[in-house]
Amino acid sequence: MKEIGELFKEKLTDQQEPPPLQVWEKIAADDNVLKYNSKQGLQQSLFYILPAMIIVAIAVISIVLLSNSNPLKQNDMAKITPAVENPATPETVIPDSISKADDQTITSPTESVQSVVNQYQTETQTGHANHLRSSNAKPVVPVIIMPFKAEVSQPEAEVSKENSYKEIVIPAAPSNEKTTVKKKPITPTPKTEEVKSQNLETDDVEEKSWEIVSSDREEVPDLSIPDAFSPNADGLNDEFGVVANRPITDFNMMVYDRTGQQLFQTRDINAGWNGEYKGQLLPTNSYLYIISYKNSGGENKIQKGMLILVR
Amino acid sequence: MQKYIFSGNKKMENTSSGRVKTTEHLVNNDQELVEGCIAGNPKYQRILYEEFAGDLYFICKRYSHSDADAEDLLQDAFIKIFLNLKGFRFESSLRHWMKRLATNTIITNFRTKKKEGVKLDYEECEQGVLPVVEVQDVEIPMEVLMRMVRELPPGYRMIFNMREIDGYELSEIAEELNMNPATVRSQLFKAKAVLKKQIENWLKSEKV
């Protein structure tokens, strides 16, 4: 007796078998593989230059974008700085920019600005102006936030508009008839705001799911084509053939191998391919089929695909 | 240092008559061959292929069900070899390095196929030593054994080849194929059971 692995290892280690000629032809046809090394200089330089160019382009674009956004900030700063330097009229300048923002955000910044202004006044009086200049960021912070707040509040308003719009739209759907709804998006026709109930919404959903099922049922293909067959004369799937689900005419089926050699051709829908070519049994492999026919509507149709021969 | 004498040699005579005969050429060692290929000399590239394609094709055949798949694997392996020749450090023999690279190509290919949905049996068996599967010690032709291995289901074939013929450790296989070690063990055992049945059937058919 012998361990089964050893039995196989003895026979199947370090063996050789010459491969078919076409493998080398395929490798040799790949220019990138064999000429790769001679072209290397050019390819390598391209390899580095392309990313470098992309990085430079990104850098240029970002610089342009930044320089565009900078003036805005500078304008904001310009609005503020006089306010700080002229402590006599701070309220007249700041509330203008704040007034767009929410009530809550207004209070705290103005307070802080006010306090900073007060601090500034007291500190200039005591002669600590240099120290404050270094901490200039303080008065800027609250006001820089404000323009952002104002921008953010706008989209919020839009969202709320959309919401109110949706509330009107949804109940309108059930009013459409089933026949018109078919496969078309429900056209929103705004109605009165009174109609608002969850029951109506669920009805809408049910209708949609019913549509999907029905459309799937309609799409039974003209032909049922198998993807594999096993010609080993065991009475199961010994031939490759198709089954027509609807009446068709002008049927033509061709089978090719991977190199494009035609192996089989028939115009009889009941005929099948037995996996032979010129009396020779073909090996396990994938093959291609092309089937053309005329459907019941008189349209010419072509179906292509892969089939696997299993032995 | 190994010498490759390249002419219309024995290996080529065995093959189909359509093979193109290359002119006689002598390569002294691995280094000359590799450097010639890196320099883009078509003669050396052809020699590299002719010298090693047989070994690699046999490996590819062991790991695949159909010849067409084996050819695809061989092509992938050689493309990888030509692109990676620069990385060969002459630490092992060229033949060993190329076989290893081919095996790795096959493993990578299997992993991507697994992602695409080649179905594997994920049944696990309990931890422990693998039961030994023994068969009668008889002379069985290589072609018959080869056919048996190639007819195994994809997962079984992969693991049996890696463990029993290429000598990977079970833990290595589990890591390479991204599988549970217990799964690998059970699949290996099942593969052996299938092969044992095949051998018994073959012995019966031979006696009759």
Residue contact A20–B71, C-beta within 8 A: yes
Per-residue pLDDT tens digits of chain B, which is 208 residues long? 455 655 434 344 434 433 444 445 567 778 888 888 888 888 888 888 988 999 999 999 999 988 888 999 999 999 999 888 888 888 888 889 999 999 999 999 998 887 765 555 555 555 555 667 777 778 888 999 999 999 998 889 999 999 999 999 999 999 998 888 888 888 898 899 999 999 989 988 887 6
**Count of domains forming chain B:** 2
Instruction: Tell me the CATH number at B188.
Output: 1.10.10.10
Structural contact between residues A277 and A233, judged by C-beta atoms closer than 8 angstroms: no
* Model confidence band, residue A159 (pLDDT cutoffs 50, 70, 90): very low
Residue contact B15–A16, C-beta within 8 A: no
According to the model, what pLDDT value does residue A97 have? 45
pLDDT tens digits, residue range A48-92?
788 888 899 999 999 898 888 765 555 555 444 444 444 444 444
Average pLDDT, chain A: 67
pLDDT tens digits, residue range A241-254?
888 888 888 899 99
List, as one string, the DSSP characters of chain A.
Answer: -EEHHHHHHHHHSS---PPPHHHHHHHHH-HHHHSTTTSHHHHHHHHHHHHHHHHHHHHHHHHHHHHHHHHHHHHHHHHHHHHHH-TTSHHHHHHHHHTTS-HHHHHHHHHHHHHHHHHHHHHHHHT-HHHHHHTTHHHHHHHHHHHHHHHHHHHHHHHHHHHHHHHHHGGGGGGS-HHHHTTSPPPP----TT---HHHHHHHHHHHHHHHHHHHHH---SEE--SEE--SSSSSS-SB--EESS--EEEEEEEE-TTS-EEEEES-TT--B-SEETTEEPPSEEEEEEEEEE-TTS-EEEEEEEEEE--
Taking only Cα atoms into account, the Rg of chain B, rounded to an integer number of angstroms, comes to 20
Residue A189 pLDDT more than 80? no
Residue B135 lies in a domain: no
Structure tokens that stand for A236 in this block = 């199961």
The alpha carbon of residue A31 is apart from the nearest alpha carbon of chain B, in Å, by 11
Domain match, B91 and B157 both = no
Residue contact B71–A1, C-beta within 8 A: no
* β-bridge pairing A280-281 and A276-277: antiparallel
Structure tokens that stand for A242 in this block = 């198709």
One-letter identity of residue A151: E
Average pLDDT over residues A176-186: 46
According to the model, what pLDDT value does residue B91 have? 84
Domain match, B105 and B174 both = no
According to the model, what pLDDT value does residue B106 have? 94
Q: State the Cα–Cα distance between residues B13 and B11, nearest whole angstrom.
A: 5
| Nearest CB neighbour to B62, from listed A12, A24, A38 | A12
According to the model, what pLDDT value does residue B73 have? 93
- Helix intervals (H) in chain B: 10-14, 30-38, 42-62, 67-84, 94-116, 142-150, 154-160, 170-176, 181-207
pLDDT tens digits, residue range B75-88?
999 999 988 888 88
Domain match, B66 and B158 both = no
| Domain ranges (residues) in chain A | 27-203, 223-309
Structure tokens that stand for A268 in this block = 């009889």
Domain A223-309 architecture: Sandwich (2.60)
According to DSSP, the residues that pair with A256 across neighbouring strands are: A262, A288
Residue A198 pLDDT more than 60? no
Domain match, B16 and B94 both = yes
Contacts of A307 in chain B (CB under 8 A): none
Domain match, B64 and B159 both = no
Residue contact B58–A15, C-beta within 8 A: yes
According to the model, what pLDDT value does residue B1 have? 43
Residue B53 lies in a domain: yes
Residue B187 lies in a domain: yes
What's the half-sphere exposure (Cβ side, CA atoms, 13 Å) at A141? 9
Average pLDDT over residues A102-110: 47
Domain match, B14 and B93 both = yes
Residue pointed to by tokens 């370090």: A14
One-letter identity of residue A24: W
Domain match, B149 and B108 both = no
According to the model, what pLDDT value does residue A105 have? 44
Residue contact A3–B132, C-beta within 8 A: yes
Q: State the Cα–Cα distance between residues A139 and A93, nearest whole angstrom.
A: 14
Q: State the Cα–Cα distance between residues A68 and A66, nearest whole angstrom.
A: 5
What does the DSSP 8-state code read for residue B52?
H
Q: Which residue of B has its CA nearest to A35?
A: B40
According to the model, what pLDDT value does residue A168 have? 44
According to the model, what pLDDT value does residue B117 have? 59
Max mean pLDDT range (A12-16, A126-130, B14-18, B105-109): B105-109
For B26, the 3-state DSSP assignment is strand
Domain match, B17 and B108 both = yes
What's the half-sphere exposure (Cβ side, CA atoms, 13 Å) at A136? 9
Residue contact A4–B42, C-beta within 8 A: no
The alpha carbon of residue A44 is apart from the nearest alpha carbon of chain B, in Å, by 13
Q: State the Cα–Cα distance between residues B21 and B42, nearest whole angstrom.
A: 14
| Nearest CB neighbour to B19, from listed A2, A11, A21 | A21
Residue A99 pLDDT more than 50? no
Residue A197 pLDDT more than 60? no
According to the model, what pLDDT value does residue B3 have? 57
Structure tokens that stand for A87 in this block = 């402590």
* β-bridge pairing A223-224 and B134-135: unpaired
Q: Which residue of B has its CA nearest to A283?
A: B66
Surface of B (153-192) touching A: CB under 8 A:
160, 163-165, 192
Domain match, B29 and B102 both = yes
Residue B136 lies in a domain: no
Domain match, B110 and B157 both = no
Q: Which residue of A has its CA nearest to B45?
A: A34
Q: State the Cα–Cα distance between residues A270 and A202, nearest whole angstrom.
A: 49
In this prediction the ipTM stands at: 0.78
Q: Which domain holds residue B150?
A: 142-207
Domain match, B71 and B147 both = no
| Residue B84 CA from chain centroid, whole number | 19
Domain match, B111 and B181 both = no
Residue A184 pLDDT more than 80? no
